[in-house]
Structure 1
Amino acid sequence: MSARMLAVYDGSGIDGGLYTRVTGWADRAPYWLDQLVTVWSAVGLGLFAVFMVYAWWRARGAGSAAMARVLASPLIVVLAYAVNSGFKGVVEEVRPCAQIAGTVTLEACPGTGDWSFPSNHTVIAFAAATALWFVDRRLGAVAYVAAVLMGASRVWVGVHYPHDVLVGAVVGVLVAAPLALAAGRAAPLVDRARSGPLRPLLGAGAGAVPTAGESPLEAQRR
């Protein structure tokens, strides 16, 4: 059985019924809710960029390993996206909105060749949340909640099966976790950069030593 035949069979055979149920809920939901979910699904990934900027700002007063992980976060997300794109090209799963007759979607169904499995949006969201988790547990927890909402929104608007989202979450976490851990080993590079012209961007880090007449708080802000 070819990859394309397997994808077509698996798409509706795994959880096509659940997908139809969710899109049915969306079709009967209040207009304001559908609009909210549609907007979130379309532009919500931008929130993860905001999270990363916030993490960078906080990491200016943290250890060099934390700053190294913050700086690596965008690259980690890009790598997770690249891995996921490879999976899409191998499986070539047809979008559920193109596969299941009579489906009513909130978002226009992507065209032929824009494969469904796994969900890119979900991979990006969970990769970002995982990278942030290794920087700041509280921020990471908030980002994980946002990632779950992003994944759920992709099914609600009708462009993904639930299993696309579930596997996308797994791919995002599995790719990002080891990379985020490894990024902490770049702390010595951050230490050296903090002693040079990049110090205003990277901050003094944790445990900065006050100079004469300077308070510990002022030292942290240097």
Structure 2
Amino acid sequence: MILALDGSSIDGSAYTDVVNLARHTPAWLDDTVSAWSTYGLALFAVLMVVGWWRARRVSATASVTALAVPFVVVAAYGVDAALKLLVHEDRPCQTLHVATLEACPAPGDWSFPSNHAAIAAAAAVALLFLSRRLGTIAVVAAGAMAASRVWVGVHYPHDVVAGVAVGALTALLVMPAVRRNTGALALRLTATCLRPLLAAQ
């Protein structure tokens, strides 16, 4: 069943307020937010690599936790993509016909929930299970990513809230299960060609 949600009836006015504000802010701020919206997910990849590099110097079980983080992100993206296909919400820039900082995605590139927000939130929550410091950085970055997607005009506020919820819940469901089984997983993986990923030689 396809829901065909009309997001403008939920928080279209809030979206319009944000987009209009973005049009009246200094160009350097808009350029910074646009760059972050487009390329910011790379920071989460860097944080995951840093977390894994540190973990493999601690123990094989810590490495298993670190290696689980990108899998959680992929799982969150899969859930988010499935919801997009179920809901079929048009992008706000298509429905409300407003000028936006970022080019409006083509019809059929659905808006709800936000992939960027889901990926960022999943990475942030999963990283908290690995390192409080890295996780805190990622949480702040995830909030900035979610906000930027509304600022550049490609998502309603409820899209990014839903995306954050999808990512966070996916991580909260998967990471505790991984943590409970890190010992067994480490033993299995050390017997495979993946052993170098688990501990520094």
1:126 aligns with 2:106: no
1:90 aligns with 2:86: yes
Per-residue deviation at 1:198?
5.1
TM-score, normalised to structure 1, is 0.84
The 5 Å alignment of 1:31-180 reads: 31-101=27-97, 103-180=98-175
Q: Deviations over 1:44-93 (max 9, x none)?
A: 10110000000011101324432112111111111110111111111100
Per-residue deviation at 1:118?
0.4
Show the counterpart of 1:188.
Answer: 184
C-alpha separation between the residues in 2 aligned to 1:196 and 1:176? 26
- Percent of counterpart pairs with the same letter? 52
Q: Deviations over 1:145-189 (max 9, x none)?
A: 000000000000000000000111011011111211112213333
C-alpha separation between the residues in 2 aligned to 1:152 and 1:143? 14
Q: Secondary structure at the match of 1:41?
A: helix
Per-residue deviation at 1:203?
1.9
Q: Secondary structure at the match of 1:3?
A: coil
Structure 2 regions of 5+ residues with no counterpart? none
| Count of paired positions | 199
C-alpha separation between the residues in 1 aligned to 2:75 and 2:141? 20
* Contact 1:87/1:118 (<8 A) preserved: yes
Q: Secondary structure at the match of 2:178?
A: helix
TM-score, normalised to structure 2, is 0.92
Runs of 4 or more consecutive aligned structure 1 residues displaced over 3 Å after TM superposition: 191-201
* Contact 2:44/2:120 (<8 A) preserved: yes
Which amino acid letter does the alignment assign opposite residue 14 of structure 1?
Answer: I
* Contact 2:59/2:198 (<8 A) preserved: no
C-alpha separation between the residues in 1 aligned to 2:99 and 2:49? 37
C-alpha separation between the residues in 2 aligned to 1:172 and 1:198? 27
Highest CA radius of gyration, 1 or 2?
Answer: 1
